[in-house]
Structure 1
Amino acid sequence: MASKQLAKRSEVEVIYKWQLEDLFANLEEWEQEFRKIKQMLETFPSFQGKLADPQVLKRCLELDDQIGQMTERVYAYAHMRHHEDTSNGQYQALSERATHLTVEVSNVTSFISPELTALPDDVWDTLLHNESLSFYKNSLEQLVRMKPHVLTEAEEAILAQASVMANAPQTIFTMINNADMRFPEVKDEQGNEVELTHSRYGHLMESKDRNVRQQAFAAMYDTYRKQKNTIATTLTSNVSKNIFYSRVRKYPSVLESALYGDNIPSTVYTNLIETVHAYLPLLYRYFSLRKQALGVDELHLYDLYCPLQSDFDWKITYEEAKHTVAKALQVLGEDYVSQLREGFENGWIDVYENVGKRSGAYSWGAYGTHPYVLLNHQDNVRSMFTLAHEMGHALHSHYSDHALPYRYAQYTIFLAEVASTTNEALLMEYLLKSANVQQRLYLLTYYADQFKSTVFRQTMFAEFEKIVHERMEQGEALTADELSKIYYELNLLYHGDAVTVDRDIELEWARIPHFYTSFYVYKYATGFSAATAFAKQVIEQGQEAVDRYIQKFLQAGGKDYSIEILKAAGVDMSSPEPIRQAFAVFESVLDQLEEVLRERK
């Protein structure tokens, strides 16, 4: 897998591919499920206008759950096949059909919420206290809460039909970014010409050769500069979509509409930005340490990811990464590690990059089948942490799916980054215990980079989203140049005087896929804070904390509001304390980093 040229999908060894056959043995099985869903949808009209009857409502919700679970499987399979090779026309068509099916399901079932929310209060009281509906009580109570933002039946049907168009900005960006965009060749540390890709870019930015980093940085953003107007239109179209939906559903702003489903006050978002601003001097301190350690007159943005020692090369193969991650997570107990190894060895993971494969990494899947993990593994420390991170997501889903029925198993996006980042924190703690001076320097640098990337950088992304949405809500038209200006000024604020903020970074907004899942990225920062607290509890309190973490958090799915789940598990995110603890850890990392740098001298 070390070839300079990317392998075709057909050339990748089976042991490094996920087994989507565990979802559907073949395309014919997928087609059968697809057709069955279409047939089952024909039953829904018989429920319409009759949901005030508890027994009719129960049958309707049971069918809704059954079809929802089946559609999830069909959708996940089609899109993961597409992500294996985004240039494969057969799987492009499959994913489009799956998307259209979800729209059809949404359209056919769109009467449920408006019909229920239109019921008189006395009928609602009867439904909520009916014994046969006790299983659905939490869902019904949440629906009552959503009542002010649910439209009429006809209006909901129109919105459901419009969802294909609403998804267009993200779909178009994905195709530009993964299938159509081609990057030039650049020279690696050995002087070999290699094709620049999304995955290789991260690897090249860690190169100890500054010229390699600089040319990769320039080549990446020169490519995006050529597409900036198209991508700007795609991004602002996504923002316009968000504004449309927030206004139609009568929310005060897009931000509040994005947070409402998780029952998160908008002050959590704005307070995060304000708190991070207050702690920016810690980030500036880190940049000064990095500049000093590298011995450069100017610290550029392409100098922010490389190791601080030029004579240290820490290669970690995928097999080594699996072994180390399993050892590090033994503190979470025998059952957790057993489930982890099950994922490693039984087709959960798609490991290596290939031609056309979706960039980045994620965990996904469908209820009733084990989760899946997409990687683009490189033999380095970063990829080992990515493995730990994505398996954290996967096992969170695995535990919640086994503990809860379909309707309540899915955890919210607000909780999504906690388990993954807890794994990373525990891996870091494990590695630091046995590290030599060189490894310790590398790890502390990596840890500091994680704070930079997960707390500070994601908050900068969150602030960019907030500014862009607010300005468009006020009626401003944002061009590529205006987006670049906003983004560049934020980079100046977040990097301070110790860093030379290269002008090319103004185009980075054009390559961030998360901007198409709007107001998501702040959850990395809040999730990091909660994860820091969980990891600290596991290390200091042992089995008691492990049991609480697994039973009250991993197995809690989405059966309660996110903040309440965290509170029950021992982390109160309604308080600023977890965020303060995270910054205290960051300051401790900087202290240790200074000490190691002195030892190295």
Structure 2
Amino acid sequence: MDIEKTGLLEREEIPVKYKWDLESMYANNELWEKDFEKVKTLANEIEVYSGKTVESSKNLLDVLVLKDELYRLSYNVLVYARMRSDEDSRNSTYQALTDRAMGLAALVQEKTSFIVPEILSLDESEMEKYINEQKDLEVYRHFLDTILRKKEHVLSQREEALLAQMSEVSESPQNTFSMLNNADIKFPSIVDENGNEVEITHGNFIPFMESKDRRVRKDAYENLYHTYGNFKNTFASTLNGCVKKNIFYAKARNYNSSIEASLDENNIPVSVYDNLLNSINNNLDAMHKYISIRKRALGVDELHMYDIYTPIVKDTDIKVPYEKAQEVIIEGLHPLGENYLEVLKEGFNNRWIDVYENRGKRSGAYSFGTYDSKPFVLLNYHETLDNVFTIAHEMGHSIHSYFTRKNQPYIYGGYSIFLAEIASTTNEALLMDHMLKNAKDNSEKLYLLNHYLDQFKGTIYRQAMFAEFERDIHEYVENGGALTADYLCDSYKKLNEKYYGPDMVIDDEIAMEWARIPHFYYNYYVFQYATGFSSAISLSEKILKEGSEAVDRYIEFLSSGDSDYAINVLKRAGVDMTTSEPIDKALKLFGKLVDEMDKLI
């Protein structure tokens, strides 16, 4: 399918083989409705245990088993509705189903809110006694230990119920942002390199930014951000609401700050966040050198923000059709062994992936699904090198989910967001190693090297800048400030000036970029892209150097899920993120690659 020539299609015009198989979750909406009603029934059933959870070891086991069944089914209901809505956010049927599913999820939280406070009434010796009495409780040991660890941050049963009731309301800022950003906002058309008038979309913006035609890049850049500027006060309001939500929950649960509350969810010390930003700020010189090289390579008097995505090797143009991308990825991930490759091929051949952009489709890319479903991937694929790496990235997530769900019980069938970006970026690192080793000439090697450095720039430096922005705006509100559009624009522009350095012209338009970043609504998520990338660099080097022994440890890492704290799971794989060493090593490699590029330019 030549999507580049076909243009933006309606959903029904996309061939089935390029769509994910959501029918494997629910063949029709009637089956979804049955599960929706079953969740309500189970929610009422579990409520009868209120006040009785720890009356006996049997009660505790019964409650935990029923809770798992309830959460497992309600998550199927919610994920299916949300993914259907993401196919075309204009579809009111699935907007309604998503809204109902979110309401149901809030009901489930409310009906089960008694469980944790009642478990917390036990001390460690009583808990151990119960586990000894009921051998089936042993599987819940880490889950129960995690609850006791956060004892001082869990409220009374009534307070927990009130917070659960607030959950649906608290998602309003993010939902409003999503609808405005994905469904309502419309961008102008520009004239492309071939003289065709093309509407700017979320999916084609980066391809426009990669254009060799500087006029096209500039037009796309200015038109997109001017459009966001027309809504700057609305976007500021939604982001302000989200930040206040995070601060509210942190205070309600007796944390000193919103960042402490967020990181404690996965037992991550705040020092990990601080180590990242300190290391980055101490190594900005390599980033500034890279920007200087890019300016020289492009031969421009001034390097603008719309010049940072276009390849700097003018004679090399890598276009990769989707089927070819699959072949390249399979070859590149060969060091991970046949077991891994079999799962990868199953994903490619068994409709895990929703490939192409269509009107109304959610922008970007993600891996999603449930314990019972295929580990689905949403793409908006264009035939760029960046999009090839996006496939490898998202399939890294999905295969991580596959191994976890295959090897862990439901209670540990997910994994910490701190670990979530490691498998994805390990795939990218291995794929890049393969492509660099097989480059036809210095021109192609330089093209790939540029792309690799852009990965570093985008995943470590840029995400660290996002993380610094996120920390700063939360601290600003915690100290009594208000997130106006002017404050957000001014703060964001200053960070760009610091990170990109003196050889970059920081155009006024970039001050609006914060408005289009959905991750700012994810509550201190973005720093984990940088820590994950650094971990992935270490793991990929071990896999390439040590072979099967390192692969076995890596598959064990992918299979561990939530069965232990994230820091411990990663340590067993050979990476200690409680130190700055992995970050510093990754930044050292970045500096080395910058020097190598400098010699080739």
Q: Give the shorter-chain TM-score range.
A: over 0.9
CA distance in 1, matches of 2:36, 2:478: 39
Which among 179, 184, 206 is matched to residue 175 of structure 1? 179
Q: Indicate whether 1:543 and 2:548 are aligned.
A: yes
CA distance in 2, matches of 1:292, 1:161: 57
Is this contact kept in 1: 2:58–2:134, CA < 8 A?
A: no
Partner of 2:493: 488
Which among 218, 232, 246 is matched to residue 214 of structure 1? 218
Deviations along 1:69-105, whole A, 9 cap, x unmatched? 1111111111000000000000100111111110010
Residue 125 of structure 1: CA displacement? 4.7
- SS of the residue 1:354 aligns to: coil
Is this contact kept in 2: 1:128–1:140, CA < 8 A?
A: no
Q: Indicate whether 1:422 and 2:426 are aligned.
A: yes
- SS of the residue 2:561 aligns to: coil
Which among 209, 230, 236 is matched to residue 234 of structure 2? 230
CA distance in 1, matches of 2:468, 2:237: 20
Residue 437 of structure 1: CA displacement? 1.8
Which among 56, 61, 70 is matched to residue 58 of structure 1? 61
Tell me whether 483-492 or 567-576 shows the greater mean CA deviation: 567-576
Partner of 1:371: 375
Partner of 1:360: 364
- SS of the residue 2:34 aligns to: helix
CA distance in 2, matches of 1:51, 1:123: 13
Which among 506, 513, 521 is matched to residue 501 of structure 1? 506
Deviations along 1:177-231, whole A, 9 cap, x unmatched? 0000000001111121100001100100000111110111100100000000001
Partner of 1:77: 80
Deviations along 1:238-272, whole A, 9 cap, x unmatched? 00111110001000000000000111111111121
Give the structure-2-normalised TM-score: 0.98
Partner of 1:559: 563
Is this contact kept in 2: 1:4–1:194, CA < 8 A?
A: no
Letter in 2 for 1:447: Y
Is this contact kept in 1: 2:467–2:524, CA < 8 A?
A: yes
Is this contact kept in 2: 1:114–1:151, CA < 8 A?
A: yes
Residue 120 of structure 1: CA displacement? 5.3
Q: Indicate whether 1:257 and 2:261 are aligned.
A: yes
Is this contact kept in 2: 1:73–1:366, CA < 8 A?
A: yes
Partner of 1:25: 27
Letter in 2 for 1:25: A
Give the % identical residues: 47
CA distance in 2, matches of 1:271, 1:533: 17
Letter in 2 for 1:180: D
Tell me whether 424-433 or 39-48 shows the greater mean CA deviation: 39-48
- SS of the residue 2:85 aligns to: helix
CA distance in 1, matches of 2:534, 2:193: 37
Partner of 1:346: 350
CA distance in 1, matches of 2:459, 2:62: 44
Letter in 1 for 2:35: E
CA distance in 1, matches of 2:479, 2:548: 52
Q: Indicate whether 1:442 and 2:447 are aligned.
A: yes
Alignment root-mean-square deviation, CA: 1.1
Is this contact kept in 1: 2:86–2:362, CA < 8 A?
A: yes
Q: Indicate whether 1:105 and 2:121 are aligned.
A: no
Letter in 2 for 1:91: Y
Partner of 1:455: 460
Which among 118, 121, 130 is matched to residue 121 of structure 2? 118
CA distance in 1, matches of 2:477, 2:525: 18
Deviations along 1:445-482, whole A, 9 cap, x unmatched? 10111111100000000000111000100111121001
- SS of the residue 1:367 aligns to: coil
* Structure 2 unpaired stretches of 5+: none
Partner of 1:396: 400
Letter in 1 for 2:197: E
Deviations along 1:83-134, whole A, 9 cap, x unmatched? 0000000010011111111001001001101122134565445335444321
- SS of the residue 1:162 aligns to: helix
Is this contact kept in 2: 1:331–1:538, CA < 8 A?
A: yes
Q: Indicate whether 1:593 and 2:597 are aligned.
A: yes
User: 5 Å matches for 1:304-315?
Assistant: 304-315=308-319
Deviations along 1:494-540, whole A, 9 cap, x unmatched? 01101111111000010000000020000000000000000000001
Tell me whether 306-315 or 58-67 shows the greater mean CA deviation: 306-315
Partner of 2:334: 330
Letter in 2 for 1:472: V
Q: Indicate whether 1:517 and 2:522 are aligned.
A: yes
CA distance in 1, matches of 2:194, 2:166: 52
Partner of 1:49: 51
CA distance in 2, matches of 1:546, 1:121: 37
Is this contact kept in 1: 2:110–2:161, CA < 8 A?
A: yes
Residue 592 of structure 1: CA displacement? 2.0
- SS of the residue 1:42 aligns to: helix
Partner of 1:298: 302
Is this contact kept in 2: 1:5–1:195, CA < 8 A?
A: no
Change (3 A) 1:250 1:129: farther
Letter in 1 for 2:26: F
Is this contact kept in 1: 2:291–2:503, CA < 8 A?
A: yes
CA distance in 2, matches of 1:97, 1:417: 30
CA distance in 1, matches of 2:212, 2:367: 31
Deviations along 1:397-456, whole A, 9 cap, x unmatched? 000000000101211000000000000000000000111222111111101111111000
- SS of the residue 2:190 aligns to: strand
Letter in 1 for 2:31: E
CA distance in 1, matches of 2:277, 2:594: 22
Deviations along 1:146-200, whole A, 9 cap, x unmatched? 1101111011111111111100000000000000000000111112110000110
Letter in 2 for 1:38: K
Partner of 1:387: 391
Deviations along 1:550-586, whole A, 9 cap, x unmatched? 01x1001111111100111111112222112211211
Partner of 1:431: 435
Which among 12, 15, 37 is matched to residue 14 of structure 2? 12
Is this contact kept in 1: 2:272–2:579, CA < 8 A?
A: no
CA distance in 2, matches of 1:456, 1:399: 30
Q: Indicate whether 1:465 and 2:470 are aligned.
A: yes
CA distance in 2, matches of 1:131, 1:209: 68
Change (3 A) 1:19 1:226: same
